[in-house]
Amino acid sequence: MGWTHESDTHLHEAALVAVFEDGAESHGSTMVDGVHYEIVEPARRRADDRLRPSAEIVGWLLRCHCDRSNSSDGSSWTDPVQWARVPSASLDDLTRHQVFAPDTDLDVNARPEVAVAAQAVWRREHLDPIDVEDEIRAAVAARRDADALLDAAVAKARSVGRSWADIGAATGMTRQSANERWKDRL
């Protein structure tokens, strides 16, 4: 379970990924004979390392998979601060990335308060820097479109006989400024 965000250029999918003491990461979970297990990357040493008891999770990494909208290129982003699993509810402090998760309920992505805290970090540290670039590009395009509309309106005003003083007044500038701005564009 995770979160998605679509920008003009990317589709972002993020979640907290369970991590073990040796750095192995979970790629899902399963239950065998009533015990929760995490499915880790292909075995590092032995085949039986592929399933690890969920109780051995030591923390979580906030990770985003980023796919380009018009390409098969993809990348990922990982928050450099690991969310630590703490041994009691009294130590749960999401502002410090400390999460209490009992062995019976280790899907921290499903806890609303954890999801809100992780999403805030994801947005601030990863999405906002990307979104601001999209916002700048959109503003530049809007300005270019507005300038083209203004140029066309001024050309129309001149074609129906409006003076530079009339055009200057309509655009909030002096007659001379309007003349200097548009005389060579018409």
Average pLDDT over all residues of the chain: 85
- What ranges do the domains of the chain cover? 3-134, 137-182
Using the structure block, give the residue that is written with the tokens 């985003």. 64
Confidence class for position 78, pLDDT limits 50, 70, 90: very high
pLDDT in tens, 120-179: 999 999 988 877 777 788 889 889 999 889 999 999 999 999 999 999 999 999 999 999
Tokens 């039986």, residue located: 48
Please tell me the predicted confidence (pLDDT) of residue 40: 75
List of residues 6+ apart from 45 with CB closer than 8 A: none
pTM over 0.85: no
Question: Residue 157 in contact with residue 170, Cβ under 8 Å?
Answer: yes
DSSP annotation of 45: S
Cα 117 to Cα 28, 66, 83: the distances in Å are 22, 20, 11
